[in-house]
Structure 1
Amino acid sequence: MKPSTLYSLLIISVLSACKPDSVIIEETPVSIITEEISLPVKDDIQLPPVAFTPDIESLRQQGDTSAIRMVALGGSFPSGSRNGGLYREGQMTSIPQLIAHQMQLQSFISPLFEKEQGNGSGYLIYDRKASLPSWKKVTNQTAIISQTPLVFTPFKGTHVDNISWPEGPGTNSDSSNSYFYYPKGKEPYFSYLFRFYADKGTNETPFNYFAYTIQKKTHLLLHFEDLDSWIGWACHTQNFAIQNRLHEGYFYPKHTFIRNYTKVGLKMVLYNMPDFLDFPYFHLYQANQLMLKNNTTGQALSNSALLIPRDGIKKAFASNQKTILLDEDVISADEAKQFRIIIKDVLNTNTTEHFAKLYNLPIVDMYSLYKTILAGKYHTEDGLFIDPSFPNGNFFSEDGIHPTAIGSAVIANETIKKINERYNTKIPLINVTQLAKRL
């Protein structure tokens, strides 16, 4: 499966043949996207007031009188990706944006889409009336200038503090190609990044921009993992050759980055990776139910296989005729097992958690947090139950992958706890119940 499938689903129409004097037999087109719709850009949300004036002076080094600056670096989590897209509402209630509000920073700049183009990349609404799991796609008031290549309107600011975009640093920003590495000189890629990163088509990587902007008197860095990239790679193992990628050299840039900036006193928070194969997106279609229909060929199925919500899978469930399952339709039981090991042991224990111990950095344990939420055992400090059910819960957005504004607030609060604990700050937690009332 191509990564971040929800960003690049195509509408497939199956047309029946028509012969003179013959009976016309039509097969209903089967698409995971049931229709394109128009929705107005939502008004900007006013975040709840903070409970008390934060004390963040301990983030400064001795003798430093500059305004405290925070930078976020990563992929879909900090960018505010939500509902299968990136758009203004998600950006304004992203995890770092919520944290910056609680810190009462003088400035925290995200590369927001302009209000009149606030639907950004477009996004998805889960189709609750469809007989099989499907989505409607919002396509009006977007910031898309061109589809081929994918080009967005540029961000008008001079710099950003939220240096993040879907698929994150080190990969490209064209969702349909995210399993490739940085494609030097290939301008169709990095479509989200190029809104604020000017050196497209050069041999330099985006980390040149990161290094430049982070050195501009930065006090705190939030360093996230690239959720969408790894989901894409898990769903495209036949092209990615994961076993050839995960070696010490692969993680060297991240290690070097952390080592170099902690040496100069930059305070950081790290995030490990949740087990994304637990997310609702991978459980909308059940393999055991499809096996009972006994109408598929191609990819072999088992009860533990994960089915990707794609046109081919929906067609297999909708039709009684034989349907060919492709590799990109299925994550086999062995592939799922392999990736769960990679997430827990390689990405988390041996990499992010190892770096956190090595450099005495706080880490937000996303892996355990998501397990607790998915078990239905998480309440916020202000008493709100965090409901992981889909599509009617309050934690997962309409794509079954990315968090809602409430979900982002939960992760933001877990981050604030770590900052307060490790760096002796006093930052108030978000009142998530109040936030929910404003959404």
Structure 2
Amino acid sequence: MKTPVFFRTAIRALPLLLLACSPKTDPNPIANGEADFSRYVAVGGSLTAGYMDGGLYRASQLASYPNLLAQQFRFAGGGEFIQPLFSEEQENGSGYLQPTTLNPLQLAPVSDRLALRSSSPTLYTKFSGENQNFGVPGLRVTDVATAGYGAAGSNPFFERLLPTGQEQKTYLAYVSEAKPTFFTYWLGNDDLLGYVASGGTRPLSTLADFTTGTKQLFDALAASGSKGAVGNLPDPTLLSLLRSPAELMAYRNDKVGPYWIATGTGEVRVANETDRILTTADSIGYLSAAGFPKGFFKIYPLQNADVLDADELLQLQQALEGFNAALRTEASARDWPVADLNALFRKAKQGYLDYDGTRVETDLFLDGQLSANSISSFDGVSLNPRGQALVANEFIDAINRAYQSQLNRLYVGRYTALRQGK
């Protein structure tokens, strides 16, 4: 069933490109330093897999930062990088959101050329053979030792990676078989995003469980003696999914206010500028049986699941700080560098010019208008190809500093900021 998403906004005139071309790099071999890139493996969750626009599909997989890194590694002794790509015949994979109209912007799910082999439970076409991108959409650190995580009815993205009959294998066991010479690790975003997307109603992973899972995966990667780089976790409040009341009013072009919300403690009050409202709260303004528009009256407020109030935001920040401290401590103990992706996203939230002159912003909408410079995909949570290229560059910088390699950075302006529908 199609459930279009509406963004009530004007749109700047801007080019909507298809997937950008590959970056230009020096064809001559470059120094790999102390790193051996001959067998590169990427460990992570949604963003590592290339999840984009609310789904995973062939073009998004090709735009993933591990694939972009592998292209640069090839000039420093890197080998072939094999991803679990959806076939060209089933290129739309799980499906994703694409524009159907541009003003106002309306999104609808793609429904053709999908890789579905079952809709109940959801199962995707199996991928068989060698794999080096271990990114699994939805994977949390606290899931890595869970037997049956790849079974039918659990995570279909992991299920498609496992051979038939091995669905009880844990993600930890899957990684333990990898034997890379070099790896990147960026896992933990989904431990935070589930809480954010639910308005704080879904529990956060505990720090103890997060630390245990991190240690287990790090030990598995260290067992082969490989070198690697770890990415820390960006603050989810920097993403386009959340808005302050003032930002949401401009984003929706609402002429009246304020918004009324129900907090996590059950209090009903006017939303203030310390609260964050989910842009997915698309029931705002719906009329009750008595004729009251939702969110604009105390008797018909936005529900707790639509809002992160100040207390819930504090819990989120405490979890983020604890998770990043655990990643930093465990990486330091193994002499692995940490790419500071949290700092990158904070800088992008303010807007800045990248070294190639490209303007970079996190917000999908600025001042009520669609941004041509955003690194967010249409779901407001995951990254578009330009955002993936920025992440790749942050890893490249960390790798070059730690291992004295001379990998070339990507020109992020060559990568698409917004994607046009078919």
TM-score w.r.t. the length of structure 1 is 0.76
- The CA deviation at 1:322 is 4.9
Map of 1:380 onto structure 2: 354
Change (3 A) 1:57 1:423: closer
- Mapped contact 1:70–1:100 kept (Cα < 8 A): yes
- Mapped contact 1:56–1:427 kept (Cα < 8 A): yes
Map of 2:310 onto structure 1: 333
SS of match in other structure, 1:72:
strand
Which amino acid in structure 1 is aligned with residue 34 of structure 2?
S
SS of match in other structure, 1:117:
coil
Map of 1:316 onto structure 2: 284
- The CA deviation at 1:111 is 0.6
Change (3 A) 1:428 1:202: closer
Map of 2:340 onto structure 1: 365
Give the RMSD, CA atoms, in angstroms: 3.4
Partners of 1:438 and 1:402 lie apart in 2 by: 13
Partners of 2:44 and 2:5 lie apart in 1 by: 29
Map of 1:163 onto structure 2: 134
Unaligned runs of 5+ in 1: 1-9, 13-30, 35-41, 61-66, 174-179
- Mapped contact 2:339–2:394 kept (Cα < 8 A): yes
Which amino acid in structure 1 is aligned with residue 86 of structure 2?
F
SS of match in other structure, 2:134:
strand
Which amino acid in structure 2 is aligned with residue 352 of structure 1?
L
Unaligned runs of 5+ in 2: 8-16, 295-299, 365-369
- Mapped contact 1:154–1:196 kept (Cα < 8 A): yes
User: Across the two proteins, how many residue pairs are aligned to each other?
Assistant: 380
- Mapped contact 1:296–1:316 kept (Cα < 8 A): no
TM-score w.r.t. the length of structure 2 is 0.79
Change (3 A) 1:182 1:283: farther
- The CA deviation at 1:199 is 6.1
- The CA deviation at 1:261 is 3.6
Partners of 2:110 and 2:341 lie apart in 1 by: 30
SS of match in other structure, 2:241:
helix
Change (3 A) 1:76 1:341: same
Say which of 373, 376, 380 aligns to 1:400: 380
SS of match in other structure, 2:283:
helix
- Mapped contact 2:52–2:377 kept (Cα < 8 A): yes
Map of 1:422 onto structure 2: 402
Partners of 1:207 and 1:293 lie apart in 2 by: 48
- The CA deviation at 1:260 is 5.1
- Mapped contact 1:32–1:309 kept (Cα < 8 A): no
- Mapped contact 2:141–2:187 kept (Cα < 8 A): no
Partners of 1:101 and 1:288 lie apart in 2 by: 39
SS of match in other structure, 1:68:
coil
* Structure 2 residue 62 is matched with structure 1 residue 92: yes
Map of 1:116 onto structure 2: 89
Partners of 2:334 and 2:131 lie apart in 1 by: 26
Say which of 153, 161, 185 aligns to 1:196: 161
Identity of aligned residues (%): 22
Which amino acid in structure 2 is aligned with residue 228 of structure 1?
D
* Structure 2 residue 114 is matched with structure 1 residue 154: no
Which amino acid in structure 1 is aligned with residue 348 of structure 2?
I
- Mapped contact 1:11–1:32 kept (Cα < 8 A): no
- The CA deviation at 1:172 is 6.8
Q: Which has the higher strand share?
A: 2
Say which of 8, 11, 34 aligns to 1:58: 34
Change (3 A) 1:388 1:185: closer
- The CA deviation at 1:201 is 7.0
Say which of 227, 232, 239 aligns to 2:189: 227
Which amino acid in structure 1 is aligned with residue 222 of structure 2?
T
* Structure 2 residue 174 is matched with structure 1 residue 209: yes
Which deviations, in whole Å up to 9, do the C-alpha atoms of 1:27-58 show, x marking residues without a partner?
A: xxxx7479xxxxxxx98865233224333263
